[in-house]
Amino acid sequence: MKRTKIVDVLRSTDFGNNVNVKGWVRTHRSSKAVDFIALNDGSTIKNVQIVVDPSKFDAETLKNITTGSCLNVVGELVESQGKGQTVEIQCKTLEIYGPCGSDYPMQKKGQTFEYMRQHAHMRLRTNTFGAVFRIRHNMAIAIHRYFHEHGFFYFHTPIITASDAEGAGEMFQVTTKNLYDLKKDENGKIIYDDDFFGKMTSLTVSGQLEGELGATALGQIYTFGPTFRAENSNTPRHLAEFWMIEPEVAFIDLNDLMDLEEDFIKYCVKWALDNCKDDLEFLNNMIDKGLIERLQGILKDDFVRLPYTEGINILEEAVRQGHKFEFPVSWGTDLASEHERYLVEEHFKKPVIMTDYPKDIKAFYMKMNEDGKTVQGTDVLFPQIGEIIGGSVREEDYDKLLGEIKRRDIPMKDMWWYLETRKYGTCPHGGFGLGFERLILFVTGMQNIRDVIPFPRTPKSADF
């Protein structure tokens, strides 16, 4: 008999016929007259109820049907008498694929998230993490669909890089050198001739610069791949290994870029609301009562478009009115998360796209405005999490870009190929970056970034 997934069984009305389900036991309640087994196969957060007449089965078998054990069940699909479920299965045959002892780490309910992290190999079998990772899947699908439908090409930028030009953060070194026998030159400097790539290499911190090579050839591309930061930040917002999405578009200006950012992120949020209803309802009930309302809120209004300078004026006015911020605010400083959240959650009460930042707080590649002071950066600020997208129009002028590279002492050995995009047939272009786990935090209501990636990599932790 062909197995049916539980997500399909729960939608079925094929009452009176036999059905085969396979999955893991969430709960097993016994009484003299009847046993109820809640079975889950990961296809949905909902369990199917298996109703067992204990007189028809071996008592020893029934005793071994414990939380976490794996079953193969054939039975008749019937309309359910119980509340909150529409179908159940009257068990006819039952096979235990895998028993599960009382030392099963996911045995007890209500364990802390920290406990769950220590058992990340098993937490996937719980309701919360099942919901989170089904939503994570759906967000990835939404991203690929959005870009494919809009004529972008998925572009794989390299993970191992010999460049450290972007300066986005500290890097992990990648090597095949024998650390017990490091060759050095006469000045004591390590020689990399015999390393795998013949030079010092690291893990990428961003695919943007290579993405620009793609966009200035294929027109519009996006990356979606792992990115690395060797920062010793033990916070609920930082991972050493995380996934980034970085679209890059030729022939785009600041306004079109903001339109793209807003349209894209709304598409993702709408996808979650349309395709992850059961999982979102579970998380809304169990994790964050405001979740679904907050997601719907994103779709309701146009995002505010706010030049940095106006944002600073609003924040300075708030300070004058007595609002207390931890960090001072003045033109030229980078906004802290509290400032971003004040603008989004208290002042405008909707998402904000901030633009035209002072050049010195932004990266070298951003296009300079005519004022000579600000650059065409565009960051999207969201409730709860602050910056969710960071983007900009890129400086397409060869001489201006070269001037900025020199002013910042960026090594030219890493820059020649990037500069050639401006030397040969340069074009106006721009793009943005979205931290995938930031998006998942927002869409799931989870509080710690370690809980929205299957196996988090953080300082002193690389388990599984």
Binding segment for a second copy (CB under 8 A), chosen from 194-202, 258-266, 280-288, 334-342, is 194-202
Token pair of 23, please?
């999955």
The number of beta carbons lying within 10 Å of the beta carbon of residue 227 is: 25
Q: What's CA 114's distance to the chain center, in Å?
A: 19
The whole-angstrom separation of Cα 49 and Cα 84 is: 11
Residue 307 in the binding site for a second copy (CB under 8 A): no
Residue 424 in the binding site for a second copy (CB under 8 A): yes
Considering the complex, state which of residue 309 and residue 426 has its C-beta at the smaller distance from a second copy. Answer: 426
Residue 372 in the binding site for a second copy (CB under 8 A): no
Site residues for a second copy, 74-103, by CB under 8 A, read 97-101
Site string for a second copy, 153-172 (x = CB under 8 A): xxxxxxxxxxx------x-x
Shortest gap between Cβ of 446 and a second copy (angstroms)?
15
Token pair of 341, please?
């959240």
Residue 240 in the binding site for a second copy (CB under 8 A): yes
CB of 49 within 8 A of CB of 82? yes
Residue 148 in the binding site for a second copy (CB under 8 A): yes
Shortest gap between Cβ of 76 and a second copy (angstroms)?
20
Shortest gap between Cβ of 243 and a second copy (angstroms)?
6
Residue 413 in the binding site for a second copy (CB under 8 A): no
Shortest gap between Cβ of 280 and a second copy (angstroms)?
16
DSSP conformation letters of 289-302: TTHHHHHHHHHHSP
Pairing between strand 48-52 and 87-98? parallel
Shortest gap between Cβ of 154 and a second copy (angstroms)?
5
The whole-angstrom separation of Cα 212 and Cα 250 is: 8
- Residue from the set 52, 73, 77, 136 that interacts with a second copy by CB under 8 A: 136
Residue 191 in the binding site for a second copy (CB under 8 A): no
Token pair of 149, please?
């439908």
Residue 415 in the binding site for a second copy (CB under 8 A): no
Residue 336 in the binding site for a second copy (CB under 8 A): no
Angle between helical axes of 254-275 and 291-300 (0-180°, round to 10) = 140
Considering the complex, state which of residue 87 and residue 240 has its C-beta at the smaller distance from a second copy. Answer: 240
Three-class SS state of 424: coil
CB of 207 within 8 A of CB of 246? yes
Shortest gap between Cβ of 351 and a second copy (angstroms)?
25
The whole-angstrom separation of Cα 45 and Cα 7 is: 9
